[in-house]
Amino acid sequence: MRDPAELSFEAGQWVSVPFGPKKVRAYSIASTPRSPGRLTLCADVAPGGIGSAWFRALAVGQAVEFKAPFGGFAFRRDDPRRPLFVAEEIGIVPIRAMLADLDETGFDLHATLVYRGRDRSWLPYDDELVALARRRPGFAYHPLVSGDVTAAVDALVADPRDLVAYVSGGGAMIDAVREGLMARGLDRKSVRWEKFW
């Protein structure tokens, strides 16, 4: 990064990239705050999208204009409740950044992640998350390529009242998970979310 040389941010935040006066796209920061001089983004490159065309055309060393950091979807280390992470496809990016940051700083990670994709190829970071679960016995990773996310959450969480949920992905999935947890006693404010579509 050129200006500033380093960017101070929290894992889970995003950058805003302008593509014209009224065209702006948001991209989650995939790197952790431990490397403030190098910013990594991860994007779902879809055909026909303005941001997708921009990513495809980027050249090594090309200057990129963006504004950052934005968003309040960040892990709160002082919260004593058990964290439940639920992600859908590219919605894993901010959650993966949080988990990587917690791992890098030696945080006592007792958490569960349910991560859904339409098939295994739609689960970026799957190998990394499998390795994290092997390295950290308190971390449970549940990739899901068929079935319903809310059913998986219900099966894994006996009593949601002592947890805090971080949910990221499509709006329909976020709503379903939030409603399911609230129906079982979780307070609405205990579900933090980041909507991608």
The domains of the chain are located at 14-70, 82-195
> In this predicted structure, what is the pLDDT of residue 2?
61
Q: Please give the Cα distance from 182 to 109 (Å, whole number).
A: 24
Determine the pLDDT at residue 53.
86
pLDDT score, position 194: 97
> Which of 159, 196, 1, 167 minimizes the C-alpha distance to 81?
159
Report how far residue 195's alpha carbon sits from residue 173's, in angstroms, rounded to the nearest whole number. 9
- Residues 82-195, CATH architecture: 3-Layer(aba) Sandwich (3.40)
User: Rounded to whole angstroms, how far apart are CA atoms 23 and 35?
Assistant: 29
Q: How far apart are CA 88 and CA 167, in angstroms?
A: 8
The confidence score (pLDDT) of residue 1 equals 46
Q: How large a percentage of the chain has pLDDT more than 90?
A: 76
Comparing 3 with 80, which gets the higher pLDDT? Answer: 80
Task: For the beta carbon of residue 179, count every other beta carbon within 10 angstroms.
Answer: 13
Residue 81 has pLDDT above 80, yes or no: yes
Question: How confident is residue 147, by pLDDT bands cut at 50, 70 and 90?
Answer: confident
Tokens, residue 187: 């307070």
Three-state SS at 192: strand
Q: Using CB atoms within 10 Å of the CB of residue 9, give its burial: 0 to 12 exposed, 13 to 18 middle, 19+ buried.
A: buried
Task: State CA 192 to chain mean position distance.
Answer: 11
Of residues 180, 176, 178, the one with CA closest to residue 190: 178
Q: How far is C-alpha 1 from the chain's CA centre? A: 23
Indicate the pTM of the whole model: 0.93
Q: Is the pLDDT of residue 61 over 50?
A: yes
pLDDT of residue 35: 87
- The CA distances from residue 58 to 51, 52, 63, 64, 184, in Å, are 11, 10, 9, 9, 47
Q: What is the mean pLDDT of the chain?
A: 93
Cis-peptide, bond into residue 94, ω within 30° of zero: no
